Chains A and B, each alone.
Chain A
Amino acid sequence: MRSVQILLADDDPDDRMLLADALAENGSAVQLDTVEDGEQLFDYLRRRGPFKKLAGAAPPTLILLDLNMPRKDGREALRELKADPALRRIPVVVLTTSRAEDDIRHTYDLGGNSFIIKPSSFGDLVEILKTLSAYWFETVKLPEEAVAK
């Protein structure tokens, strides 16, 4: 199996740090990259602007997507991701503080692979990431190369 890389899109620096810490707490070998909004997410995925140096690198194994972000929010980003034949295979897990039924329904309607509510405690976040990693990286078969040739 190729090395596993999570791309986290979240505008909150504290949340980004907590996620990195929670992954480390699990002793996870997962590589974590972060972007701050939907615009940056697409710059990263399409290797544009500050991410030009990533040209040719494998796409992320899994995207964790916050919904409420400036510039381009998670809903718009998800719609664009799942409409793009070159990107739509990459599993996208929405990770958000929203509990709104509308957001949950809308995420699945747009083709989001799952919807997870950000827990309020660090301990719960560690547990969630443990189960998420066991599922996506040990149980599921991922598209080996998510970006269409």
Chain B
Amino acid sequence: MSHNDSHNGKPITILIADDDVDDRMLARDALAECRLANDIRFVADGEELMDYLHQRNNYAEPGSAPAPGLVLLDLKMPRKDGREALKEIKADPRLRRIPVVVLTTSKAEEDIYRTYDLGVNSFVTKPVTFEQLVQSMKTLTKYWIEIVELPAERGN
């Protein structure tokens, strides 16, 4: 009997929104170090993120955008930045229950306040070294995947 048997072992989709190619690769490598069996998907900006979540435009094809159990969101992105995307997600009754963790290089108090005000589930500053990133990802995934109950994914 485990406390987390309701979704334990059931892989979730982690959706990462980040415009920086290197950062996306680093995040993928750091998550690989965590030996997760989860499905990792990437989008490059807020517009693409909203297309993915609404399963429209490039993501209209059935099965091309599995509902994410967790979104990792960069703040500084072109077209639609992370703040705008967060505001839209948390104001949308169909999307707001998806846990969103901001993962950004910003340490600005203003960014931290504002994202919590907008309803972010938590705010994590991207560490400088790869080793620290692996450590952060390990703690983050252990918390969200092993300890926390995530809302049931919406039907596709």
Contacts and interface: CB of A to CB of B under 8 A. Distances in A.
Chain B interface size, as a band, is 35 or more
Interface string A111-149: 101111111100010001001101110111111101000
Given A114-B99, A124-B3, A135 B121 contact: no
Interface in A81-125: 82, 85, 88-89, 91, 99, 101, 104-105, 108-109, 111, 113-120, 124
Given A88-B119, A139-B139, 20 more contacts: A82-B119, A88-B117, A91-B116, A99-B6, A104-B150, A109-B96, A111-B96, A115-B150, A115-B151, A116-B148, A119-B3, A128-B3, A128-B147, A131-B142, A134-B143, A135-B122, A140-B122, A140-B124, A141-B125, A142-B112
Contacts, number: 97
Given A91-B116, A141-B123, A109 B97 contact: yes
Interface of B: 1-4, 6, 90, 93, 96-99, 107, 109, 112-113, 116-117, 119, 121-125, 136, 139-140, 142-144, 146-152
With most chain A CB atoms within 10 A of its CB, the pick from B6, B119, B147 is: B147
B1 A108 contact: no
A140 B136 CA distance: 9
Chain A interface size, as a band, is 35 or more
